[in-house]
């Protein structure tokens, strides 16, 4: 059953509860778009009828049960009303796939009315790119109302370029297509850009009178494909003498390149602003018509500290921020900036969102832009959507922002895409959307349990058969039994407990995107903010320096015996040590179906060294719908023979391809070549 049909069914059910609907209606008039009291009498009945239909669905689905948002008192900025769900006909505007939603307004069909565009996310990298409508694309909901009173068609269409190809950007984690509009080449036509997770590209769709041309990569200084730097290992093992890698050569510099634009150096062209684990600026070092973007530098507050929506970074963190993935200067590794002069004082500000999964997180952080000695700086973050009791301001996680004048009243409005939790095939879940996902231990968008049937409780027979089929091995029956019991315990903690507590519907959870609008109104005091440079103050936030720890989540070593006698047998092995909290994907086939790179290990032997039997893999565990390896002291073993070998030294090689993830991010798939020397001794 489609989501639209489900909403129509719910509407029919609601008709049996009309008395309850009447009680909701008086409250809903204060919440729905345009309100109920300002329309002319002739129009009001039509408006009320439309809103009553919406309130039926919303009352049942719980999609407008917002807490009281007190916001922030920002001189010159709009005063935001409560959020309102955006509808497309008789169902919400939504995204599916992995459930992220990045909204924007743009007159897509050239009829003079702004339409609603919503970018979405699907894993579509490597050999899976492009995937056309199945990939990271943009939904277009055409405006069938007026420009000042948008109403959207029930059905959407895919955004296509001038060649008729569905517009798509390659993403393998965590961002999705995020459309923003700027005239980058100063030709009078708006262009579309979107950032990328990794490589750290920004795709540029040039606008012309026919629409948008196929996307090209914006030129940037450095290599956006930079992965884990080989100098990391030396840095971790010998920090006193190691060569510190240039940040621009590191993965952390490029990863999660969520991108927005604005002129921050007042030279008349657009500069790039990036999010991720640090908020950064890349100056346009090209021209106004042929942009090229330079080295990314940290954005700083008035005290010279990196911008953060969480914990304030130490000086040591700042010094090494692009050397390791565990240091998040921004207080969140998934920040997304939006550039706008929110307080209308003539200086660009930032609105920043993050993963929004853990208690106390800000739904939207406001950084007021100021000029300090000619430099663009920012005041510390302010919680734009603070609530009365400190609860969540928005449902779900991973919000994305867009600012426009939704109702053409002259005041900016805030448009929000939220990734909400649904169950049972698309029903909005109050308990999962309004509780912090970190508290409920709900997977992030992209790893939803509902994408696949729930994992059954492991049985010894099935586990044994699976490991034999995939080359698994164990030393003794006792070792196997102990490991098997660990998997049963894990199943009970993650799956069985849901059945035991009546929450088995959580196993059907899928994120979906929803769009909300917070209309802006003018404050009684319309004075703009004081534009004088603030006095620099000592940062009062409590900071602490964490102990230095290894930053490489996976360590590999090819292990061979010290020597092997001629004519005997031995084992060579790949030792795998995975940092706590990280995992790699086991080669069972289950992960590849979900777009993840499974671990592949091969050994290359000299001609006179025999390969005896198949490669033996360690016993894997499961995490949600994935089969994974995690922990230390893992080994992939290959038995060899030296019957045809003469005494001497032989080079053994191993090639390893794997992808590393934790609960927050996934690193790019990586291939490593290892060698070791085997000594064959005379009998």
pLDDT digits (tens, 9 = 90+) for 125-180: 777 788 778 888 999 999 999 999 999 999 999 999 999 999 999 887 889 999 99
The pLDDT of residue 50 is 27
Tell me how far apart the alpha carbons of residues 234 and 230 are, in angstroms, rounded to a whole number.
Answer: 8
The C-alpha atoms of residue 543 and residue 305 are separated, in whole angstroms, by 12
**Does an H or E element contain 466, and which?**
helix 460-469
Collapsing DSSP to helix, strand or coil, 212 comes out as strand
Q: Kindly give the pairing relationship between strand 280-284 and strand 94-95.
A: unpaired
Structure tokens at 232: 């990391």
Judged by average pLDDT, the poorest of 239-248, 256-265, 435-444, 453-462 is 239-248
pLDDT tens column, 196-244: 998 899 999 999 999 999 999 999 999 998 876 656 556 656 666 667 7
Percent of the chain with pLDDT over 90: 55
Residue 471 has what pLDDT?
65
| ∠ CA 522-527-529, rounded to 5° | 110
Digit-coded pLDDT (tens) for 417-428: 999 999 999 999
Question: What's the confidence (pLDDT) of residue 64?
Answer: 61
- Per-position DSSP letters for 251-289, written without gaps between them: HHHHSSB-EEEE-SSSSSS-EEEE-BSS-EEEEE-S-SS
**4 has pLDDT over 90:** no
pLDDT at 339 over 80: yes
Lowest mean pLDDT among 5-14, 134-143, 240-249, 651-660: 5-14
Query: How large a percentage of the chain has pLDDT more than 70?
Result: 81
Instruction: Name 675's bridge partners.
Output: 653
Q: Cα–Cα distance between 17 and 9 in angstroms, integer?
A: 14
Alpha carbon distance 537, 520 (integer Å): 32
Query: In 3D, which of 371, 359, 339 has the Cα closest to residue 273?
Result: 339
pLDDT at residue 263 in the model: 94
Q: Retrieve residue 261's tokens.
A: 């634009």
The number of helices, as runs of H, and strands, as runs of E, in the chain is 11, 42
Rounded distance between C-alpha atoms, residue 222 and residue 229, angstroms: 14
pLDDT in the model for residue 397: 94
| Res 34 pLDDT > 70 | no
Give the highest mean pLDDT range of 314-323, 355-364, 592-601.
Answer: 355-364
Over 60: is that where the pLDDT of 549 sits? no
Q: Mind listing the pLDDT tens digit for each residue in 491-543?
A: 898 899 999 999 999 999 999 999 999 999 987 644 443 333 333 333 433 33
Q: How far is the C-alpha of 632 from the C-alpha of 655, rounded, in Å?
A: 19
Q: How far apart are CA 168 and CA 161, in angstroms?
A: 10
- Reported in sequence order, the residue ranges of 452-499 that DSSP labels E, i.e. its strands, are none
Band of pLDDT at residue 481, cut at 50, 70 and 90: confident
445: confidence class by pLDDT, cuts 50, 70, 90? confident
Q: What is the DSSP string of 405-434?
A: -TTSSSS-EEEEEEEEEEETTTEE-HHHHS
pLDDT-derived band at 673 (thresholds 50, 70, 90) equals very high
* pLDDT (mean) for 455-481: 79
- d(CA 619, CA 80) in angstroms, rounded, equals 54
Angle at 172 between CA 192 and CA 455, to 5 degrees: 135
Cα 449-385-81 angle, rounded to 5 deg = 110
Q: What does the pLDDT look like over 615-630, one tens digit per residue?
A: 999 988 878 777 899 9
Within 39-165, residue ranges assigned H as helices are 41-61
* DSSP 8-state symbol, 107: -
Q: Where are the beta strands (DSSP E) in 120-166?
A: 138-141, 157-158
Average pLDDT, the chain: 82
Q: For residue 187, what pLDDT band results from cuts at 50, 70 and 90?
A: very high
pLDDT in tens, 277-320: 999 999 999 998 999 999 999 999 999 999 999 877 666 666 65
Q: What are phi and psi of 448, to 5 degrees?
A: -65, 135
Say which range, 360-364, 551-555, 584-588, 659-663, has the weakest mean pLDDT.
551-555
């Amino acid at each position: 059953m489609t989501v639209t049909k489900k909403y129509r069914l719910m509407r029919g059910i609601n008709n049996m509860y009309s008395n309850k609907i009447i009680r909701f209606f008086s409250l809903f008039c204060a919440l729905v778009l345009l309100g109920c009291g300002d329309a002319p009498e002739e129009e009001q009945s039509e408006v009320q009828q439309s809103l009553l239909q919406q309130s039926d669905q919303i009352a049942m689905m719980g999609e407008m049960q917002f807490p009281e948002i007190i916001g922030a008192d920002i001189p010159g900025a709009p005063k935001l009303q409560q959020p309102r769900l955006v509808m497309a006909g008789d169902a919400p505007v939504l995204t599916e796939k992995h459930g992220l939603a990045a909204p924007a307004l743009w007159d897509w069909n050239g009829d003079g009315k702004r339409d609603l565009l919503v970018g979405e996310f699907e894993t579509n990298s490597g050999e899976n790119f492009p995937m056309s409508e199945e990939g990271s694309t943009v939904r277009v909901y055409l405006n069938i109302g007026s420009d000042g009173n948008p109403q959207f068609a029930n059905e959407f269409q895919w955004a296509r370029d001038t060649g008729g190809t569905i517009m798509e950007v390659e993403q393998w984690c965590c961002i999705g297509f995020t459309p923003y509009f700027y005239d980058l080449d100063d030709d009078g036509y708006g262009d579309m850009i979107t950032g990328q997770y990794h490589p750290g590209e920004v795709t540029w769709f040039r606008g012309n009178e026919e629409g948008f041309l196929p996307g090209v990569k914006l030129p940037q200084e450095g290599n956006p494909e930079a992965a884990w730097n080989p100098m990391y290992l030396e840095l971790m093992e010998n920090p006193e003498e190691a060569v510190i890698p240039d940040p621009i050569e590191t993965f952390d510099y490029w990863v999660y390149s969520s991108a927005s634009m604005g002129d921050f150096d007042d030279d008349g062209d657009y500069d790039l602003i990036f999010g991720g684990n640090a908020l950064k600026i890349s100056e346009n070092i090209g021209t106004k018509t042929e942009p090229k973007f330079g080295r990314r530098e940290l954005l700083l507050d008035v005290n010279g500290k990196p911008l953060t929506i969480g914990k304030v970074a130490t000086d040591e963190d700042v010094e090494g921020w692009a050397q390791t993935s565990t240091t998040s200067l921004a207080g969140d590794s998934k920040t997304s900036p939006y550039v706008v002069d929110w307080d209308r004082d003539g200086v660009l500000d930032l609105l920043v969102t993050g993963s929004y999964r853990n208690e106390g997180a800000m739904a939207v952080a406001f950084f007021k832009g100021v000029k300090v000695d000619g430099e663009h700086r920012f005041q510390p973050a302010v919680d734009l959507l603070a609530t009365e009791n400190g609860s969540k301001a928005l449902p779900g996680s991973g919000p994305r922002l867009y600012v426009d004048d939704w109702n053409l009243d002259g005041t900016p409005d805030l448009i929000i895409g939220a990734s909400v939790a649904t169950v049972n095939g698309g029903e909005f879940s109050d308990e999962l959307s309004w509780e912090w996902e970190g508290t409920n231990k709900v997977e992030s968008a992209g790893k939803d349990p509902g994408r696949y049937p729930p994992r059954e409780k492991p049985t010894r027979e099935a586990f044994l058969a699976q490991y034999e089929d995939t080359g698994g091995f164990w030393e003794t029956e006792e070792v196997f039994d102990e490991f098997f019991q660990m998997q049963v315990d894990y199943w009970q903690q993650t799956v069985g407990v849901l059945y035991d507590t009546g929450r088995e519907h959580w196993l059907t959870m899928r994120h979906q995107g929803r769009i909300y609008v917070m209309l802006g109104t003018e404050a009684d005091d319309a004075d703009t903010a004081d534009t004088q440079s603030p006095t620099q103050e000592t940062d009062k936030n409590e900071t602490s320096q964490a102990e230095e720890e290894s930053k490489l989540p996976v360590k590999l070593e090819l292990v061979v015996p010290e020597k092997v006698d001629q004519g005997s047998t031995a084992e060579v092995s790949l030792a795998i040590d995975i940092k706590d909290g990280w995992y790699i994907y086991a080669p069972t086939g289950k992960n590849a179906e979900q777009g993840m790179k499974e671990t592949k290990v091969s050994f290359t032997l000299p001609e006179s060294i025999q390969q005896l039997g198949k490669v033996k893999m360690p016993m894997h565990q499961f995490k949600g719908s994935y089969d994974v390896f995690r922990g230390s002291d893992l080994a992939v073993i290959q038995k060899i023979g030296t019957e045809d070998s003469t005494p001497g030294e032989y080079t053994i090689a191993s090639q390893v391809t794997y992808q590393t993830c934790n609960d927050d991010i996934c690193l790019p798939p990586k291939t490593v070549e290892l060698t070791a020397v085997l000594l064959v001794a005379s009998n």
